[in-house]
Amino acid sequence: MSPDLQAVHDVLVDVAKQAGHMILSATPRVHAAGSKKNTTDLVTETDQAVEQYIQTTLAAQFPDMGFYGEESYTPGAKLGAEPVFVCDPIDGTANFVHGFPWVCTSLALVIDRKPVVGVIYNPFLRSLYTAIQGQGSFVDLTTPLPLRREPEPLTTLQHALVAVEWGADRRGPNFEVKQRTFVALARAVEDGGAMVHSLRSTGSAALNFALVASGALDLYWEGAAYAWDVSAGWLILSEAGGIVVDTNPGGWEATLDGRRYMAVRGAPAGQKELVQEFWGHVAGQLDYHA
């Protein structure tokens, strides 16, 4: 029997708000194990406590559904056909540690590797982004996305505001591709660059997706994120008319756990042309995989 998506949505909103209370009342303490991959890949006791709360609450209400969370993830675990809650208890953990208010809880119900309900809540800015498959997406439950009811066509990268993230990998070929691409995006057109209006990094993949869905960002190029960072945002963006493709040139089909995502805002024209222009500035292949 297919789940009642509205009921799931309502529970996820409540759970995300409760997670927000936990985050706001916590003192960020980096977990005793320190960091995961290196000193930039932080995990706090609050990440773990919030995920524990979310997992327990969802298991009690929806015992038939699986759980795929950042803090309890077993390396190699894949999304399958069965319904699963995909959870990032705190996306923007480094921001949380520093008190930089781009922090959120990101929750999605994924069925057959596609998100069907998505909820992102930033308790610091009190912004709630939500979507149910086929029913549009909203900020604060009532304002439809994108925020401009008649978004402008996308033209060229030169007129675009673009998000990128430095991520936690700071050496090796992927880091080289990223930093050379960032420079190519910023560089003057006369010198062969795209000369985008500017680059932004909020430190939260989920909130970057929400900003692309709202139309505040034109495009977000992300290699190295995980399904828990993007599942809710992917649905919220798609329901707002946006698209998600691969970071690497020619990859029109991105997958939820494929770790490489380029998100483009909703527009009456120009999405595919902007993607192709962007791929022309990607300085190699990002080698991240499911």
**Positions in the binding site for ligand LIP (CB under 6 A):** 70, 88, 91-93, 165, 167-168, 203-205, 225, 229
233 beta partners: none
Kindly state the smallest distance separating residue 86's Cβ from ligand LIP, in Å. 12
Kindly state the smallest distance separating residue 96's Cβ from ligand LIP, in Å. 8
Kindly state the smallest distance separating residue 208's Cβ from ligand LIP, in Å. 7
Nearer to ligand LIP, 229 or 267 (CB): 229
Nearest in space to 65 (alpha carbons), one of 50, 78, 51, 81: 81
Omega before residue 146 within 30° of 0, cis: yes
Kindly state the smallest distance separating residue 94's Cβ from ligand LIP, in Å. 6
Nearer to ligand LIP, 138 or 261 (CB): 261
Nearer to ligand LIP, 205 or 263 (CB): 205
CA atoms within 13 A on the CB side of 143: 11
Kindly state the smallest distance separating residue 27's Cβ from ligand LIP, in Å. 17
Nearer to ligand LIP, 44 or 132 (CB): 44
Alpha-carbon gap, residue 64 to 62, rounded angstroms: 6
Kindly state the smallest distance separating residue 178's Cβ from ligand LIP, in Å. 11
Nearer to ligand LIP, 2 or 74 (CB): 74
